Structures are given as C-alpha cells and as structure tokens.
Amino acid sequence: MKTYPELDNYLKRVALKSPEFLVKVERKAAHDDFPIIGPLCGQYLFQLARMIEARRIFELGSGFGYSACWFSLARGKEAEIHLTDRDPENKKKALQLFSAGRLKSEFVYHLGDALGELNKARGKFDIILNDLDKIKYPDVIEPAWKKLRKGGVLVTDNVLWSGKVYSGVNDSPTRAIRKFTKMIYSHPGFRSTIIPIRDGLMVSLRV
Ligand SMILES: C[S@@+](CC[C@H](N)C(=O)[O-])C[C@H]1O[C@@H](n2cnc3c(N)ncnc32)[C@H](O)[C@@H]1O
C-alpha cells in the first residue's frame, strides 16, 4: 500500500537501493501481493537501529522476515531479533532468507499470537516494530510501553492506511488505526511523529 504513490516513486528513485537479495524479495512480494514494509521504510529501520545502537528488537508481525533483515543489516552480530507470526510457513521462509543474506544476528522466531509472545518475552527491548493485524493496533500501546526501555522506539506501519484514515472511511481496520493514533499521541509515555513514507510510519519514542 502507498498513500502517496507519486511521492513514493520519486523517493524510491532517489534513495539508496536495497541489497540484491532483498530486491528479489521485494519483487516477489509485489507479485504475490504480500505486504512487506518495503525499501523506504526498510532503510529507515536500518538508520534507526544504528542511531540508537539497538541490541534487542521485537517484531509484532514478521511475515517471512523482510523487515527483520533490515534490522539485521544495521546491527549484525550485535542484534537479537525476535520475530512473531502465526503462520509456520513464514518462519521457514524467513530462515531461508536470513541464510540467503548471510545475516549474522541472533534470530528468535516465535510462532503464535504476536502480543501474547511480547507479553511473555523477558527483559526490555530497544525497538518494537508494530505490523500486525490493524484491528489489534490499540492493544499494542500498553504492552509496548512496558517492554520498551526508556529511549526505546515503537515503530508502527500503515498509520495512513492509503489515506483512508482521513477520508471518512469507517471500516474496522481504519477505525482501529485512527483510535491507535489518537491514543498514542495523547499517551504521556510516548512522543510520536508520523513519517509519510509509503503507507505512513509512526515513530514513537518511549519517554
Ligand atoms: C504486514 S505482514 C508483516 C510484514 C513484515 N513486517 C515485513 O515488513 O517484512 C503481517 C504479518 O503479521 C502476521 N500477523 C498479523 N496479526 C498477527 C497476530 N495477532 N499474531 C501473529 N501474527 C500476526 C500475519 O500472518 C502476517 O504475516
């Protein structure tokens, strides 16, 4: 999904290209219509992970590991990356992808409900990526606040939802994203900004 397709195309033309093993995955995801975070957000995840020297990263909704690859490219052996998904096929594909990219991070793939796995996880995280079913978004805020260290960051994909959030659409995913957005902007434990790349990426600093 792209909220501003022309802007997205321009930014993709000027931005640094993805490594070859990820370009192949990007093509396949486009062909299969699988919603990966894409190269512009991927580059941002890379930067963020380097900027805050992230060591422990938790993904809510990992699919076949594309977004996790960007974290791993940024932090290599320094990173412990927790992935979650309910589909065992995605886990298999992710492990193949990490090996194709010769990635060196420690990967822990949890199969099951993503929020349940986050609640069970030990210790604090530097980054949590929120990319699960949109109707669950409002339920992410409190667990994420508890599991992030102070100065850690919650990154949430699809907060512009192809523009539906400001176009009067009222289906349940759109309502949930609007509710999430309102809740997190008014939460005293987060300071947030929406970056309007691809489908809207919200970056929320845990204060
Ligand atoms: C948008 S895709 C993730 C893409 C991935 N972050 C990337 O950019 O490469 C969302 C994935 O989350 C999984 N998912 C959604 N809600 C979930 C939940 N509540 N628990 C576990 N997995 C979930 C879906 O099976 C799907 O594979």
CA of 133 to the centre of ligand 1 (A): 7
On the question of pLDDT at 84 being above 80, the answer is yes
Q: Which of 67, 133, 180, 201 should be mutated for ligand 1, with most atoms under 8 A from CB?
A: 133
Residue 1 has a pLDDT of: 77
Q: For residue 36, which atom of ligand 1 is closest to its CA?
A: 8
Instruction: Give helix 20-32 / helix 38-51 axis angle, nearest 10°.
Output: 130
pLDDT digits (tens, 9 = 90+) for 138-175: 999 999 999 999 999 999 999 999 999 999 999 999 99
Ligand 1 atom 10 nearest Cα = 61
Ligand 1 atom 9 nearest Cα = 66
Domain locations along the chain: 5-206
Q: Residue 194 and residue 177: Cα distance in Å, rounded?
A: 12
**C-alpha count within 13 angstroms, C-beta hemisphere, residue 181:** 20
Ligand 1 touching residue 36 (CB < 6 A): yes
59: Cα separation from own chain's centroid: 6
In the numeric block, which tokens belong to residue 135?
């109707």
Q: Residue 119 and residue 140: Cα distance in Å, rounded?
A: 10
Ligand 1 touching residue 22 (CB < 6 A): no
Average pLDDT (64-75) is 98
Residue 2 has a pLDDT of: 83
Residue 158 has a pLDDT of: 98
CA of 35 to the centre of ligand 1 (A): 9
> Could you confirm whether domain 5-206 is CATH 3.30.1330.10?
no
Average pLDDT (186-192) is 98
Average pLDDT (9-33) is 96
Strands of the 80-85 sheet, one edge to the other: 106-111, 80-85, 56-60, 125-130, 148-156, 201-206, 190-195
Ligand 1 atom 1 nearest Cα = 35
